[in-house]
């Protein structure tokens, strides 16, 4: 073989190798009767830092549009992405919160120390009525976390009566006197929070007995059948899930929670920066993020053992990236910036939840405003939407849509000899017949061509939106609030019966086929 032919063959081989590494195949089927619950797209607002105070609930003198002290530009932004539920008042704060302190005339409400988050004074000006007014403005369902750690069965039982009963009891008359004659009909109730940790450092055996006791006195009132959610495991504590599922009858609980945070370094002492990280650190973060797939799969398998009909929901009601706080901010306030990396984390987690919708029927991003992986950041009268917000905007099309099963073969993203799947996907079909496909490319360098087969799905046109930026560390700031925002995507086309998508590096895309 002469040198010229040899070089040509090498060149062709390199091209073929490069082509093989940068292509993926996806097959989407219409063979499903499952629905992606809208509650997967829930949010979380705790009395922590500037999440409530300075976030939702602002000073009367702040020059922004308000109803009472509820900030309406924030409300309108969240209405746009159709948040289905809002979890409150915690978090760890829930197990030191006593609801009677947060009702009645604001000036008469007792003050307390928020011992979990910065030791600041909590004036209780934002309480039950204010939260439920907020949920009314948002058009979302409230999700209460009841105090099991430092509270009593009577306290929780009376809180439920206060918000849900239409009787003439003394407790209900208190609600009427406080300005709300009609019951609120709140159905989502968490029975404690992180009972394995800040909620009481309980064993699963002790907590399961406590749950049965508390749940027995969590009564249904007309029009408000309760969805009781047990405090579930921390991350990969599979024994906790096993004991809870074994000891608590399925009919007593609507769901069991799961808490897992993506900590970039995997080390809680030095979690890593929100805005300054290398590719190696980015890769490590994505390894931590993708662990959610393993956790959901393994906890679901344990639940299947006791609940083969999948009547009990898995509710991932705390998730998101948790980094070191921004320099110069109160370490107890958990304020962090939000980059393109975090948007890809959000999109990847939502794809995982969508694909496990047989068991995952609820979730709550931590947290909505100014805390951890926020949707919104505020600074006095200024407000910006984070890259994570835009992911929820792009993904809202999956809420209560028919789940479409996916099979995929994807290339690896390799850094320092380690590898993860470069592409993740979820898909659904809405009530009008439109198909939505959400794709994420985690690879920082390579565009990936995806050939997609859609079995038994008729479609003619494809449109889409993309979220990406020049750098994985790019963020929105108050000086440049729109640096990252969704744009029209032109990289998808029909090729016979197939869909061909060229996914840019470090991007998230949602397509609409009709």
Q: What would the DSSP string read from start to end of 134-154? A: HHHHHT-EEEEEE--SS--HH
DSSP state of 411: P
Q: pLDDT-derived band of residue 9, with 50, 70 and 90 as boundaries? A: very low
Q: Which of 46, 96, 122, 194 is catalytic?
A: 194
Q: pLDDT-derived band of residue 455, with 50, 70 and 90 as boundaries? A: confident
Q: What residues form DSSP beta bridges with 142?
A: 86
Rounded CA separation 196/199 (Å): 7
The pLDDT of residue 21 is above 80: no
Q: pLDDT-derived band of residue 11, with 50, 70 and 90 as boundaries? A: very low
Q: Which pLDDT tens digit goes with each residue over 255-268?
A: 999 999 999 999 99
Q: How many CB atoms lie within 10 A of CB 451?
A: 15
The pLDDT of residue 376 is above 60: yes
Assess contact for 127 and 109: CB atoms under 8 A. yes
Q: Is omega for the bond preceding 91 within 30 degrees of 0, making it cis?
A: yes
Structure tokens given for 420:
């993860």
HEC string of 335-389 equals CCCCEHHHHHHHHHHHHHHHHCCCCEEEEEEECCECCCCCCEEEECCEEEECHHH
Residue 296: the pLDDT is: 98
Q: Which pLDDT tens digit goes with each residue over 477-512?
A: 999 999 999 999 999 999 998 999 999 999 999 999
CA 504 from centre of chain:
25
C-alpha pair distances (Å), 83 with each of 3, 61, 444: 64, 28, 30
Which domains are assigned to the chain?
24-31+405-513 (2.60.40.1180), 37-400 (3.20.20.80)
Three-state SS for 117?
coil
Proportion of the chain above pLDDT 90, given as a percent: 95
Q: Which pLDDT tens digit goes with each residue over 221-245?
A: 999 999 999 999 999 999 999 999 9
Q: What residues form DSSP beta bridges with 66?
A: 71
Q: Which of 107, 281, 318, 512 is catalytic?
A: 318
The pLDDT of residue 434 is above 50: yes
Phi, psi torsion values for 497, nearest 5 degrees: -90, -5
Q: Is 194 a catalytic residue?
A: yes
Q: Which residue has the tokens 């990847």?
A: 348
CA 506 from centre of chain:
20
Q: How many residues does the chain have?
A: 514
DSSP state of 433: S
Q: Which pLDDT tens digit goes with each residue over 393-405?
A: 999 999 999 999 9
Which residues, other chains included, contact 145 with Cβ-Cβ below 8 Å and sequence gap of 6+? 87, 88, 89, 90, 91, 94, 189, 190, 192, 193
Of 156, 142, 144, nearest to 211 (Cα)? 156
Q: Which pLDDT tens digit goes with each residue over 283-295?
A: 999 999 999 999 9
Assess contact for 345 and 374: CB atoms under 8 A. no
**9-23, 49-63, 200-214: which has the minimum mean pLDDT?**
9-23
Assess contact for 60 and 487: CB atoms under 8 A. no
Residue 13: the pLDDT is: 36
pTM: 0.94
Which residues, other chains included, contact 12 with Cβ-Cβ below 8 Å and sequence gap of 6+? none
C-alpha pair distances (Å), 289 with each of 203, 218, 280: 27, 35, 14
Residue 14: the pLDDT is: 35
Assess contact for 483 and 476: CB atoms under 8 A. yes
- With 0-12 / 13-18 / 19 or more C-beta atoms within 10 angstroms meaning exposed / middle / buried, residue 179 is exposed
Q: Which residue has the tokens 């991932």?
A: 316
DSSP 240-295: HHHHHHHHS-GGG-SEEEEEEEE-TTS-TTS---SS---HHHHHHHHHHHHHHHHH
Q: Is 318 a catalytic residue?
A: yes
Q: Which pLDDT tens digit goes with each residue over 112-143?
A: 999 999 999 999 999 999 999 999 999 999 99
The pLDDT of residue 1 is above 90: no
């Amino acid at each position: 073989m002469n040198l010229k032919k040899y070089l040509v063959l090498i060149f062709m081989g390199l091209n073929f190798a490069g082509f093989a590494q940068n292509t993926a195949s996806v097959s989407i089927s219409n063979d499903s009767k499952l629905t992606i619950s809208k509650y997967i797209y829930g949010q979380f607002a705790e009395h922590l830092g500037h999440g409530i105070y300075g976030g939702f609930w602002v000073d009367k003198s702040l020059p922004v549009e308000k109803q009472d002290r509820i900030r309406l530009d924030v409300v309108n932004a969240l209405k746009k992405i159709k948040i289905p539920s809002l979890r409150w008042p915690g978090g760890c704060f829930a197990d030191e919160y006593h609801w009677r302190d947060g009702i009645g005339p604001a000036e008469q409400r007792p003050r307390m120390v928020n011992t979990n988050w910065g030791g600041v004074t909590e004036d209780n000006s934002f309480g039950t009525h204010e939260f439920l007014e907020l949920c009314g403005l948002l058009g979302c369902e409230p999700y209460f976390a009841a105090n099991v750690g430092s509270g009593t069965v009577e306290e929780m039982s009376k809180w439920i009566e206060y918000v849900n009963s239409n009787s003439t009891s003394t407790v209900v008359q208190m609600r009427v006197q406080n300005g709300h004659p009609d019951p609120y009909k709140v159905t989502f109730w968490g029975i404690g929070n992180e009972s394995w940790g800040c909620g009481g450092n309980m064993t699963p055996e002790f907590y399961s007995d406590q749950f049965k006791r508390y749940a027995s006195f969590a009564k249904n009132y007309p029009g408000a059948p309760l969805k009781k959610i047990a405090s579930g495991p921390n991350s990969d504590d599979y024994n906790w899930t096993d004991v809870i599922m074994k000891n608590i009858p399925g009919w007593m609980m609507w769901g069991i929670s799961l808490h897992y945070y993506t900590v970039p370094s995997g080390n809680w002492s030095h979690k890593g920066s929100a805005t300054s990280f290398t590719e190696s650190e980015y890769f490590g973060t994505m390894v931590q993020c993708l662990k959610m797939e393993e956790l959901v799969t393994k906890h679901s398998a344990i639940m299947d053992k006791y609940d083969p009909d999948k009547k009990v929901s898995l509710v991932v009601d705390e998730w998101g990236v948790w980094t070191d706080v921004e320099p110069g901010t109160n370490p107890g306030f958990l304020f962090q910036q939000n980059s393109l990396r975090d948007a890809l984390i959000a999109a990847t987690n939502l794809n995982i939840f969508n694909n496990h919708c047989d068991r995952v029927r609820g979730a709550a991003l931590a947290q909505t405003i100014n805390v951890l992986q926020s949707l919104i950041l505020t600074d006095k009268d200024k407000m910006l939407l984070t890259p994570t917000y835009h992911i929820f905007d792009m993904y809202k099309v999956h809420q209560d849509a028919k789940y479409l099963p996916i099979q995929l073969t994807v290339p690896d993203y390799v850094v320092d000899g380690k590898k993860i799947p470069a592409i993740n996907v979820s898909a659904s079909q809405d009530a009008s017949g439109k198909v939505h496909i959400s794709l994420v490319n985690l690879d920082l360098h390579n565009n990936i061509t995806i050939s997609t087969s859609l079995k038994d799905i008729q479609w003619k046109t494809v449109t889409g939106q993309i979220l990406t930026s020049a750098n994985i560390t790019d963020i929105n700031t108050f000086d440049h609030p729109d640096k990252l925002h969704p744009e029209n995507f032109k990289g998808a086309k029909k090729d016979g019966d197939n869909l061909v998508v060229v996914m840019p590096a470090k991007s998230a895309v949602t397509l609409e086929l009709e």
